[in-house]
Amino acid sequence: MMATLFDNPSTRTSVLVGLRDWLASLYKASSEVGRAALVNGALEHLFERPRIRKLFRGWKADPLLAAAFADASLWSKKGGDSTTAAPAGYLAHPSGVTDGMQDWR
């Protein structure tokens, strides 16, 4: 779990910044479906921790990343119940679980 790296006091700041920047580049390079998967599958859960959310606050200065920051922050602000809807084309599994990973690009 990526949050473990953020929670570990021995993890160097450069590693955390590298992960943050990698997530930013991944988000920017993804389709709408991929972006939703990244927000719902990773960022929401990272942002449950105020310390981690603080590391990402620079995203607010970038129009595209600001939307990701706002969407991911909804999860913790609403007590673990995000109202972010999946975009059109988001793939659903027969079990009813959606992940969009098949359409990541």
Instruction: Please report the DSSP string for 27-95 in residue order.
Output: HHHS-HHHHHHHIIIIIHHHTTSHHHHHHTGGGGGSHHHHHHHHHHHHHHHTTS---PPPPTT--B-TT
Mean pLDDT of the chain: 79
Q: Residue 101 and residue 37: Cα distance in Å, rounded? A: 7
pLDDT at 21 over 70: yes
> Is the pLDDT higher at 67 or at 95?
67
Q: How confident is the model at residue 72 (pLDDT cuts 50, 70, 90)?
A: very high
Q: What is the pTM of this model?
A: 0.72
Q: Residue 34 and residue 97: Cα distance in Å, rounded? A: 15
